[in-house]
Amino acid sequence: MGERRANRGRHLPPEILTDDEVHALLRACSAKAATGIRNRALIAVLYRGGLRISEALSVFPKDIDRNTGAIRVLNGKGKRARTVGIDPGAMAILERWFDMRTRIGLSGKQRLFCTLEGRPMTDSYVRVLLPRLARKAGIEKRVHAHGFRHTHAAQLRAEGVDIGIISKQLGHQSIATTARYLDHIAPLAVIDTMRKRVWRF
């Protein structure tokens, strides 16, 4: 309990997830129950779209272009709107939730990620959900919504995506902000330089 109190005011460093760890989180969600299908879709959007949790929970079905994987974010940080993209694999997971929404009688008037009764989901629910899924999946890292955003950014950088594209995807005001963000979560230049050193023993 004392350790938990000590951590409350401390800003813990980001922990980047691997593809295998995210797949384990998805497997920890039910593949048949409506809540499991919804939670899998939420993880896919956070992980492959890099949205903030407040942004993801504010999206309505009409904000998704199901043909292109484009997501309109109308409630971004600083009230700025932007459009982001997700890949076909993430869209396929999201499509299962669209199908389930139709089956359980949800309409476009309810937010994309909502309760089975159509009420908005809360970030507090997600804060409890993700660590529970992590325990079930056997993941020892801290798993939280913003960690998916960190992972998304780090993976894009590792894939060589232009920093201007990463900046637009994340919704940063400037490329300088993105550069600082990336250097904090994924100092690839430092790591790459250290890996090139030779130690003979």
Residue 146 catalytic? yes
Instruction: Let me know if 77 is a catalytic residue.
Output: yes
Catalytic residue among 38, 101, 150, 172: 172
Catalytic residue check, 184: no
Cα 122 to Cα 74: distance, rounded to the nearest angstrom:
18
Short-list 129, 132, 107, CA closest to 39: 129
The catalytically annotated residue of 38, 40, 48, 52 is 52
Taking CA 124 as the corner, what is the angle to CA 121 and CA 128, rounded to the nearest 5 degrees?
Answer: 110
Q: Is 52 a catalytic residue?
A: yes
Angle made by CA atoms 192, 89, 188, in degrees to the nearest 5: 10
Catalytic residue among 66, 135, 146, 180: 146
Catalytic residue among 72, 77, 82, 142: 77
Q: Which residue among 149, 150, 152, 157 is the active-site one?
A: 149
CB 127 within 8 A of CB 142: no
The verdict on whether 103 is a catalytic residue reads: no
Please say if 149 is a catalytic residue. yes
Q: Long-range contacts of range 35-43, CB-CB < 8 Å, 24 or more positions apart? A: 35/116, 37/96, 37/97, 37/100, 38/97, 38/100, 38/113, 39/129, 39/133, 40/93, 40/96, 40/97, 41/93, 41/94, 41/96, 41/97, 41/113, 42/113, 42/121, 42/126, 43/148
Q: Which residue, chain included where needed, has tokens 């003979």? A: 200
Which active-site residues does the annotation give?
52, 77, 146, 149, 172, 181
